[in-house]
Amino acid sequence: MHDVIQLETQQTHVNPVFNTLVYDGWLLRFSRGYSLSTDSVWPLRQGEIGLAAKVAYCEEQFQLQRQSSTFRLTSLGYHQSIDTYLRDSGYRTAESGVVLNRALSRTPTTALKTLPLTRWLDLCYRLNPEDVSGQRLLQEQLLSQIELPMWCAVIEADGIAVGYGRALQSGTHLYLDDLWLLPDWRRRGHGQRLLDGLQGFGQAHGATMAYLTISDANPSATAFFRQAGFSVAYPYHYRQR
């Protein structure tokens, strides 16, 4: 289960928040309601305080933020007892998905155009206006905090931008996020070109593994990445009251 803790910890590095609290091995993350990932409790360590007391503390902190209490849970053994306790306390499953990963090997890559964060976000919202609609400024504020190597890339076809993606590197781990193509340009090989290009950035800087998260609500994306060589590292889900 060491890999689960490692990848969960890595994700807290590549998905920044505005405020965090650490309570007996649990990480409380707050970002003004931006997403489940950035506004939830991540139980990274089992700790020593009783479960009921820890959950009550987290609930109090989220209440102070005027947010719903949310917990991110995985296949870790001690997460099972947390999940049962939350379920019996009236928490529902808000979202579920999988973390996928693959070892990186030297393969031909696609040269991708990169943009500064602000220009890249402008392009993302122009191509996909419904992408986290209404949170443009909040998204930029969060992503601008990242100090890790980050590539904000655009893929072009016939001289026009048809999609985008983002990669961040932490040590030998390359995190992939926000991969998206215009619907009319899908199933033409551009998705693989985008993926190859993003992985190429990491390979050039010593990355040996790529990983990403996919919601169960997006089975077509899961199928694409499985076909591209990714495998399931572990499942995750969020419990929310």
Q: pLDDT of 68-87, one tens digit each?
A: 999 999 999 999 999 999 99
CATH 3.40.630.30, the chain: domain bounds: 105-207
pTM: 0.92
Q: What is the pLDDT of residue 108?
A: 61
Cα–Cα distance measured from residue 50 to residue 21, given in angstroms and rounded to the nearest whole number: 18
Long-range CB contact pairs, 186-192, < 8 A, 24+: 188/157, 190/155, 190/157, 190/162, 190/163, 191/163, 191/224, 192/228
Q: What is the pLDDT of residue 2?
A: 54
In CATH, the architecture of 105-207 is: 3-Layer(aba) Sandwich (3.40)
Those residues of the chain that have pLDDT short of 50 are 1
